[in-house]
Chain A
C-alpha cells in the first residue's frame, strides 16, 4: 500500500488532519493514563479502584462486566463530568490569562508529539522510514524547545489566579522546570555526540538515534544507549520526573502545603486541560526516553524491528510493519508510564529546598561530569 497520495494533498488539508490525528491519539491516551493512574494507585493500596461505572444501554453485552470491573467506562464518566460540569471563573482573576493558561498548557503538550517517531516501516523505495508527523532534523531540540514552553502555562495560571497558593505554586514550578532542564539537556548530549560520528552530517533527529540502536546481532550499534550510558539515562529519568511535575517532584501542585498549587482556582474543563497536558507530557517524555535509551521500536537489543518484520513476512506491507513498530513502541511507553505511576504511589514528595538541592548541587554536576567523561570516551573511541 502506498500512502504517497496523502503527501500529494495540499498543505491546508494535511495540517488539520494531522492536528486532528494528534488530538485523537493523545487525548484518549491521556485519558487512559488517568484511568490507569486510578487503578494502579488503588491496587497498590489494596483497593479495587473504580469498578462500578457502566452505561446501562451497553451493560447487557457479554464481557462488559470485565471492562466495568477494570473501570474502563469511568473514562467516559470522567470526561463527561469535566465537559458538562459548571465551570466557574472566580471574580478576582485576570480573566484573559486565566482562560489562556490551560490553552497554553495544551499547545506544547500536543505539539511535541509531532516530532516524535512512533515506529518505522520500509517504504516502497526500500528505505526504512519513520512513522512521524514532522520528520525534522532538529528533532530532540524541537521537543525540548517546545515542551519547555509549558512552564508559561503554569506561570500564567498562577499569576492570573490572583491568589497566593496558585502564585506560590507557579513560582516553584518555574524554578523547578528551569533547574532540571539544564541537567536534562546535558544528559542527552553524549547520545548525540555518539551518533554524530565524525564525517557524518550533524543531526538531532530522533529517528537517527533509534537507527543507531538497530544493529543486528552482537554488534556495537545493537546495544541500546540505556546500557552504554546508564548515568545519562538516570539523569534524564530524574529530570523527566521533574519536568513532568510528577511525584516526587510535583512542587507546583503540592496539595499538602499549597492546596492545589497553580490550578487551585481552576475547575471543570479548564482544569481537565491541565490534567491532560500533564499526561501528554508524560507520554511524550516517556516516548523520548524510550527512543533515546531503550531502542525505540526495536523489540530487543540486537533484534531490530526490520529483522522481526522480515521473520514475520511483514516487511513488504508498510501498514502492518508500521503498526508492529507502533505497538512495540507504545508497549515500551506504557511500561514506562506504569513506572511513572509506580514511583508516584511509592515515594513521598520532596521538600522544595530538597528539589533545588538535588537539581543544582547533585544532578547538574553529575550531568557535567557525565558529559565530560563521555566526550573524552567518545573522542577516544571514534578517533
Chain B
C-alpha cells in the first residue's frame, strides 16, 4: 500500500475567508471547512456528483487578469486584485476548488435562488410531516426552515403519486415525497453494485422505480433509506415505529463480521428501534449491511436466557458461582475453556485469566462465511483478533473442536466452560456433552445451555460497553445502549467471580480497572485505556500475527495482508 503523498493544496476564498484545501475538493466541502453551510440534497460526499437538485448554488468569481498581458487587474477601490464574478450562480457540488477561486454564499441572489429551489421542491411535496418517519432528520424540513420563503404561493392541486411502493423486502417508497435527488440510484450502482433503481417518465411525472422484474433486495438496500434526504425511502422495519427525536443514540459496532462497521444504536427507554451506520472513513465510510441492522432483535428474543440455573433449578449468581467453583474443584486439571470471538477484548482477557487460574486449555470457535467484498467479511466473529491480541489463543481457531472432542472421549476433559459458544454446533455430540459438566455463559438458549450444569445469562453487545479488534487490527469501542433484562449479569462480573472462586486474583469487573490490568500486562495495548480510545478506533501493530492465515478477503478499506495473498 502506497503511503498517500501530501496533497497539493489550493487556496480559495469563501465568503471572504481564505482557506487552503486539497486539490479536487469541491466547493461544498471547502465551505464546510471554513464553517459555511452550503445547503444541498443530491450531493453526498461518498457518491458521485450529479448536480441535479440545484440547492447548492453559489456565486463564483476568479481574480481578473488582463487578457493580453496576463497581468493582474487591480481594483483601485480596495487595492486588491479585482474579482470577475460570474453573473449566474453555479452549483457548489460540481465546482472543484481552483487557485484563487472566490465564492459568495450569502448574497441576495443566492438567497433568491435557494428560495426558488425550495419553492419548486415543496410545490408537489405532500407536507405530511406529522406522519412522515423522516420528520426530525429531514433535509427538506431543515432547509425549508433555514432557506425557504416561509409561505406557499401554490394554490393548484398537488401531484398524486403512489404512496406505498415496496421497492424491496426492507424498503418502502413514498413517491410523493421524493425530490428526485438520485442519491439512492447512485448508491445502488456505485457502492452496492446492484444497479436496480432508476427514474422513469419526465417532468413532474418522474418516478423512482426498480428495473422491471427486479427488487431493491441487496444486503445494502437500507443505506438508501439513510441517505434519502427526505422521507421518500423508508425502512419497512422502522416505518411508523417511533419518532427519531425520542431516540437516544449510542455508538456501537456491528458484530456480524470482522469488518466491525461503526454503528449508531437508536433506543428509547431500554428498547432499541433501529441501527444505522456511523461514519468511519477508515472502516465503513457511511454504510453498513442490512443484516447488521437486524441484530438488535436478539435483545428481546423469546429464547433469551434470563434465569440463572444450577442443575435445572433457578439459582442466584453467588450460588451458581459457588456451584461452578465446586465443579472446577472436582475436575481440577481436566477443564477446558471455550472462549468466544464474539466477546469483547476485556472479556477475552478475563477469560484468559480464568483459564490460567483453572490451568485449562483454551480454544475458540471460528465462524466462516462468504465475504461480500463490501462490508461483510468471511470471518463472522467480530473479535477473533482480540483473542490473539489478549493472548487467549495463539493460533487461528477452527470451526470444529475436534481436539476437545477427542479429549472428552479419552476422559481427559471432564468440565468445559463455554462462553456463549454452542458446543454442538462446534462438532461435539450430545453423548460427549452428557459426559462432561458444562458451565455456560451466554445470552440465548441453545443445545449447550440446555445441557449445562450451570447456566449464567450474560449481556448482548447492546447492553454492555467494550472493545473489538476488527480485521484491520483496529481496536474500536462500543457503548451500552440499553439496560439488560433482569436476571442477566455482565460477562465481566461473572468471569471475575468465577476466577475469584478458583482463587485467582483478577481486577474488579469494571472497564477502567480491567483496562488498567490489560495495559499493564499486554504490551500491544499498553498505551490504551477505554476512555482515551477515539471513536474511530485505533490501529494496532499487527506484525506479530502477520503470518497467520486469516480467512478474510478484500472488503471496503481492507486488503488482506501479503501473507494471505501468498497463501492463495
A/B: CB atoms within 8 Å of each other: no
